[in-house]
Structure 1
Amino acid sequence: MENDCYVVGIGASAGGMEALRTFFSQLPPNLPAAFVVITHLMREHRSILDSYLRDKTEMAVVRCDHDMGIELGMVYVLPENTHVTIRQRILRVHPRSNEIINHAIDIFLSSLATDCGSKAIAVVLSGRGSDGLEGSRKVSANGGTVLVQSPESAYAGDMPQAIITGDHPQEISSPGYLAEKLASLLLDSNKT
């Protein structure tokens, strides 16, 4: 994959399935970006997020069960009991630590900021806690874009509110509008 392509990291937790459904159902296919979905998963249960999202988007959806290069127009999902990072546009899968609090979103977004700079886009949807704040700050600091679900439209507004309070997201809105905004941003950037 070209090193100047956009990579979109999407973080979600409690209430995130509905937000992801709306987001991906509103997102047009063939956008000039790769998408990586990071959610808080139970360690012991196989995630069905890949099959769930296949019904919501025309893009191909794959589980990131092993290290893999990313491709435009693909959606990659985090498997259970792992963390994923990105380096040189390759998704790297790591075993999840024994730490109780899950920082999977921060871990991925922080690596995304370093690897993709201004081509990094963070989208943080519904969830409890503040996972995503540290990573979003790094995305912003490296010239990337941060989009956040409005807390009032989220099942659990903690994660979005943490970013609104602690960072400067470029857009705060419902998942459907965030999808439209992201599509517009990507298509406009492709014209230049």
Structure 2
Amino acid sequence: MIKVLVVDDLGFMRIALRQIIEAEGDLTVVGQARNGVEAVEMAETLKPDVITMDIEMPEMDGIEATKRIMGFANPPPIVMVSSHTQEGAESTIRALRGGAVDFVSKSSSFTQNDLGQINKELRPKLRQWAGQRPRRQLPTPVPVKGKALEPTQDNGRTLDTARTGEGADLIVIGVSTGGPQTLPRLLMAMGPVPVPIVIAQHMPEFFTRSMAEFLGQETGLNVFEAASGVQVGPGAVAVLKGGRDWMVAPKADGFVVRGASAPGTVHPSVDTLFRSAALAARRPIAVILTGMGDDGTEGASHFHRRGLPVLVQTPETCVVGGMPSAAIEAGHASHVLSIEALASRLSRWAKSNRIQTSASVS
């Protein structure tokens, strides 16, 4: 049985969340806190497997409570249950940056408290995170599904820097769960680069604007949300608008974002972005970071066939290693690197006149 602590200042929401959580019999609510102070106390005494956390509460809000719980020696994962508004999105991003692992919107464009939406999303996320403790430090790398990959290993491929005398002209990044914690580290370690960067971060529509603003504040870079018709030039970092899919097309002195349609349940689609980048750019670099599932693997195959670099984050250093692991298992990853090594490699290639590409593609 998965033990859940529910934190919300509204009695109605605590009752509703309990009914939703316990509906299928494998999750049980072991405690209900009315504010952040109670949440911290109950998290320590009840030792739940996972916590649902409201944001706006009296005495101590969910952001501060999350930070304090993350200070425990063995903190449980925290899933934020937030308002589907611009203010709620901004607060959610801060909570994710503070250590929360995921979020569910408690409202939608139709109603302030959309219990149907919560019922659809909450239980699967609680099951996914139960028992997975948030990473407090980078662990020692271990083999991935039988493949002994070191943090800076090139996945067994022979790389030839002499194949091209040209540097990168576009960097595309795919990321999902763990993005708010990982992207600032990567971009700050890279610093300004004279190459357009386009990011597909799995998020709903309201949240990517706040994500872009947060990244800009954290890194000092020119970061903005991009949708159809927005141009991305050298030195710019574009976070694709959430909730739908996008592609990139060439344009004078950079690239332009265009709307696209893709199957699947996660948006923006990393596969769609990667496929378009492999066609639109002469020397693009694909990067796959932390995330659940395998989005990005099919798109990376287009880079693989052209002999272009596909850099993936070492799965053991991810909040969730699914996306990088899928690309590795498919044989499309040319480099498996820590965040710091990824940043160093990208910065060097973006600023130099040559990049490494795979000498042979199987």
Per the normalisation by structure 2, the TM-score is: 0.48
| Structure-1 residue corresponding to 2:257 | 92
**Equivalent pairs: percent with the same residue?**
25
RMSD between superposed Cα atoms in Å: 2.2
Give SS of 2:320's match. Answer: coil
Are 2:352 and 1:188 aligned?
yes
Displacement of 1:190:
6.1
Say whether the 8 Å CA contact 1:61–1:76 is kept in structure 2.
yes
5+ long unaligned stretches in structure 2: 1-166, 356-362
Say whether the 8 Å CA contact 2:242–2:267 is kept in structure 1.
no
Instruction: Work out the CA distance in 2 between the residues paired with 1:73 and 1:27.
Output: 12
Distance change (3 Å), C-alpha of 1:68 and 1:42:
closer
Displacement of 1:134:
0.7
| Structure-2 residue corresponding to 1:50 | 212
Displacement of 1:35:
0.2
| Structure-1 residue corresponding to 2:29 | none
Instruction: Work out the CA distance in 1 between the residues paired with 2:302 and 2:214.
Output: 30
Q: Give the structure, 1 or 2, with the largest relative contact order (CA under 8 Å, sep 6 or more).
A: 1
Are 2:320 and 1:156 aligned?
yes
Are 2:275 and 1:113 aligned?
no
Distance change (3 Å), C-alpha of 1:132 and 1:98:
closer
Say whether the 8 Å CA contact 1:81–1:95 is kept in structure 2.
no
Q: Which structure's CA Rg is the greater one?
A: 2
Instruction: Work out the CA distance in 2 between the residues paired with 1:49 and 1:59.
Output: 13
Displacement of 1:174:
1.5
Which of structure 1's runs of 4+ aligned residues deviate more than 6 A? none
Instruction: Work out the CA distance in 2 between the residues paired with 1:181 and 1:109.
Output: 19
Instruction: Work out the CA distance in 2 between the residues paired with 1:46 and 1:19.
Output: 16
Query: More deviation in 34-43 or 119-128?
Result: 34-43
| Structure-2 residue corresponding to 1:28 | 191
5+ long unaligned stretches in structure 1: none
Are 2:324 and 1:172 aligned?
no
Say whether the 8 Å CA contact 1:136–1:167 is kept in structure 2.
no
Instruction: Work out the CA distance in 1 between the residues paired with 2:199 and 2:300.
Output: 15
Match of 1:124 among 268, 281, 288: 288
Give SS of 1:137's match. Answer: helix
| Structure-2 residue corresponding to 1:67 | 229
Distance change (3 Å), C-alpha of 1:179 and 1:51:
same
